[in-house]
Amino acid sequence: MALAGCDRLGFGPPRPRFRSIDITGVGYARDFRLKDPSGQERTLADFKGKVVAVFFGFTQCPDVCPTSLTELTQVKQALGPDGDRLQGVFITVDPERDTPPILKEYMAHFDPSFVALRGTPEETAAVAKEFKVYYAKVPGKTPDTYTMDHTAGVYLFDPAGQVRLFARHGQGADALVHDIRELLRTAG
């Protein structure tokens, strides 16, 4: 109890109150190394100084993926001038169909600053394992009409590149705006 009082008495910085799940200090979701549609290899270090929102999905997703990316676009707009300090990163779990041209076109529907990343099937599996993301191919009526089950949520990294939060799908733009503002505020 004495330690909790220190924050109120000004002896320590106030702890942020996040609306997403605080995963600060976990031993996963540390980095990725994948290519963007132009073939440039990207890592978290490329976005240092920004809050990075990492989302796993696929372009033929009928609802969760476009809803999440639209929400991130709304969040960026709601942040006003601080919106430039948010970097959206979409990592495909369907590299078989999500070719670089398809990813480039898909991301153009959301925000031009957001980046789509793609790996080989082996690289995708390794990054998903690092982030503890589940994904699996679900057969369709024909081999080309399969869908993908996958973890739905956004990992938020602070401007220093440390994973801090996991935002569940459907949490809403207001909660994300609040949490991103907190990450930016505590980064200085």
Tens digit of each residue's pLDDT (9 = 90 or more) over 97-145: 999 999 999 999 999 999 999 999 999 999 999 999 999 999 999 888 8
On whether residue 45 sits in a domain, the answer given is: yes
Distance CA 45, CA 43 (A): 5
pLDDT band at 10 (very low <50, low <70, confident <90, very high): low
Domain that holds residue 115: 18-26+36-187
On whether residue 144 sits in a domain, the answer given is: yes
∠ CA(38), CA(128), CA(102), 5° rounding?
30
How many separate domains does the chain show?
1
